[in-house]
Structure 1
């Protein structure tokens, strides 16, 4: 692979929370080989040179909670679509994420090994895709998309859709093992009610403790993490006690939850962008009205939960959970979080914190020697202001993933 040398770069050190001006960054074989004022002297004669012209050169962004196959915000309808049709539209979702500077995303239900392999091969342009396959749910849980009058489940691991129902420890173990067989990089459990499901309540807890612990045991055997969808403190605390790695959303957590997060060194992945987006345009995008009304049960509480978790020192990763046409609002998470967090804290959540959650902390999230060459070149003072993320089509000038330029403007 041809070497690339970035010159005159203002490198963002996300660990130190500081710029390092006047740097050259040498990229070869998909990795960062050197970061130094004179790194350009190490480049081969035929290296491609990119003049950063004093702009910010920073790590590619991570989104720890996406649904790349959610081409509509109606999971019941999505489950009736042909996987081939969903994949065609998923390509646009992935391309949009790259254009917004995301080089690694963690799917929370729907994506599979085929999409991940196509991206790795370069057949399908997109961010590096971490996938769980199907999210696991109890009967009547957050991934059970049957209405109250429906009896036939009609789901399988290969169909389009969010999740799969399993009840009891043996079914849980079998489901987890089958997902691990396909190469899942993590497991996803629905441990409370949710907005997008037709028959459960936001304040319900889901799965018995022995089922949760069985899933954690299977994940630990495979050395992969477990993410859990949860809203209320009761559901969150049960999941943390059972050993789950991260809690997604967490809008209704309380101080007891914060204390558990810290004591167990677990992760919270707030997804403020999706609730704002669903409130604004969920109906227009195709979300059923009864489910749209459930958005308001958690909308305002999300900011309070972020504030409590941030003050308490919880590991907070960046996530968005957007659906359908609302994927375009992925970077609005920056402006929403900026009401509580400093820009550098949000950047860390989308780089080094997410990398640690993914167990890739020695591979992604930093502009440092030996790391994957996932880089974005940005106009603006991203260290002190979130304004640049409001206009990615003009502020993000280049996106590189594994040493290959994916976007150039």
Structure 2
């Protein structure tokens, strides 16, 4: 590679992977200027003017950078006692360091669904620390006693102010939900997450529990629509999922226990499903070692066994499936292993679309990310091999990932 001197880049002699078609081109080139893709072509590349960075990618594959649509960069430890002593500054620095590691794995865009804020997104956007494009939703909304209410049972005080960096905030009743939604959108949230069922990481509720009422969900959906945003919901059981979809939620996180009606509603509403299989595998394997409580640990099997079957059913039905990992603390290192699990029921081309073009549609960034189209952000990966034939090329970056390029700049 020649030395970078300007915002212009030329990659030559590569095969381009276009997720839309699920195909590789013959030997091709791709040109970048000011962080955007300006041209692509097959055959011999045009001569590079002086000052243009040139990457000779002979035989390699160039593809769009990956999107992980379910991350929590703020949660860098599973131990709540440890996290309780962290200051906001320390918490943020740890979060941004994890974001940098995500970029080096090949994720050039991530959607944070609980915790990240406008300051973190700005720091990454300004290049103060290396990391992916951060699409954040602020704090998730939880009812009292819900998945995001992590107070110990001995605590009687109502959560107040909620200025500390955290995963969620408590809001009860349609009016309080509207106020909380407006506040998160005021702070720049690109979506709003509601917690509609219990979860593995919350020790005091059940996975099958139904949280929030139809009126509260509709209030959140109305506010999101007013702000040109959308609602995504944490839910495992169809009792929660199906109510949310009927009320206008656009996306479902997890969905491990979905039923046939769920599939029908997802298709009817052109909604999105973000399975997160790897987190349950990692929690089952290492949760105790990393500080996960026993009450949480016992719930893992409730969703772990059903997850792959739910994914297969949704895939066969043609549901909009998006890549998500949902890893916490030290488990973030396994972010790419979601590909391995999904590969049991999905072909590589569909897996790659879930982490590129379909993810871009969910984020309402189609044509801007997840594609090699002219005018898109130049978020690119250069990998040895063909991921359409062997998805493990993406899961072993230490062997196959030659370059990560974010907004036209090699990392």
Name the TM-score, length of structure 1 as normaliser.
0.97
Alignment partners' CA distance in 2, 1:9 and 1:213: 49
Alignment partners' CA distance in 1, 2:44 and 2:139: 44
Match of 1:181 in 2: 186
Match of 1:372 in 2: 377
Question: Structure 1 residues 93 and 155, CA, compared in 2 at 3 Å: closer, same or farther?
Answer: farther
Match of 1:200 in 2: 205
User: Shift of the alpha carbon at 1:158?
Assistant: 2.9
**Secondary structure, counterpart of 1:236 in structure 2:** helix
Does the CA contact (< 8 Å) of 2:14 and 2:61 recur in 1?
Answer: yes
Residue deviations 1:347-392 (CA, integer Å, cap 9, x gap): 0000000000000002011111111100000112201212213321
Structure 2 unaligned regions, length at least 5: 1-5
Q: Match for 2:273 among 268, 273, 279?
A: 268
User: Shift of the alpha carbon at 1:401?
Assistant: 1.0
Match of 2:3 in 1: none
Q: Once superposed, what is the RMSD of the aligned Cα atoms?
A: 1.4
Given the alignment of the two structures, is residue 320 of structure 1 paired with residue 325 of structure 2, yes or no? yes
Does the CA contact (< 8 Å) of 1:81 and 1:160 recur in 2?
Answer: no
Given the alignment of the two structures, is residue 27 of structure 1 paired with residue 54 of structure 2, yes or no? no
Alignment partners' CA distance in 2, 1:196 and 1:146: 13
Does the CA contact (< 8 Å) of 1:26 and 1:40 recur in 2?
Answer: no
- Give 1:50-69 correspondences, 5 Å limit: 50-69=55-74
Q: Match for 1:70 among 53, 75, 82?
A: 75
Q: Match for 1:92 among 90, 97, 100?
A: 97
Given the alignment of the two structures, is residue 343 of structure 1 paired with residue 342 of structure 2, yes or no? no
Alignment partners' CA distance in 2, 1:222 and 1:70: 27
Match of 1:295 in 2: 300
**Secondary structure, counterpart of 2:298 in structure 1:** helix
Match of 1:305 in 2: 310
Question: Structure 1 residues 191 and 252, CA, compared in 2 at 3 Å: closer, same or farther?
Answer: same
Match of 1:237 in 2: 242
**Secondary structure, counterpart of 1:381 in structure 2:** coil
Structure 1 unaligned regions, length at least 5: none
- Give 1:115-130 correspondences, 5 Å limit: 115-130=120-135
Does the CA contact (< 8 Å) of 2:181 and 2:220 recur in 1?
Answer: yes
Please say which of residues 231-240 and 71-80 is displaced more in the overlay: 71-80
**Secondary structure, counterpart of 1:252 in structure 2:** coil
Alignment partners' CA distance in 2, 1:303 and 1:77: 33
Given the alignment of the two structures, is residue 15 of structure 1 paired with residue 20 of structure 2, yes or no? yes
Alignment partners' CA distance in 1, 2:256 and 2:42: 45
User: Shift of the alpha carbon at 1:394?
Assistant: 2.1
Alignment partners' CA distance in 2, 1:254 and 1:75: 34
Match of 1:148 in 2: 153
Does the CA contact (< 8 Å) of 2:17 and 2:23 recur in 1?
Answer: yes
Question: Structure 1 residues 155 and 110, CA, compared in 2 at 3 Å: closer, same or farther?
Answer: farther
Match of 1:256 in 2: 261
Alignment partners' CA distance in 2, 1:404 and 1:385: 27
Match of 1:165 in 2: 170
User: Shift of the alpha carbon at 1:250?
Assistant: 0.3
Q: Give the length in aligned residue pairs.
A: 406
Q: Match for 2:283 among 278, 296, 316?
A: 278
Question: Structure 1 residues 79 and 188, CA, compared in 2 at 3 Å: closer, same or farther?
Answer: farther
Question: Structure 1 residues 236 and 75, CA, compared in 2 at 3 Å: closer, same or farther?
Answer: farther
Alignment partners' CA distance in 2, 1:340 and 1:249: 16
Alignment partners' CA distance in 2, 1:218 and 1:6: 44
User: Shift of the alpha carbon at 1:45?
Assistant: 2.5
**Secondary structure, counterpart of 1:159 in structure 2:** coil
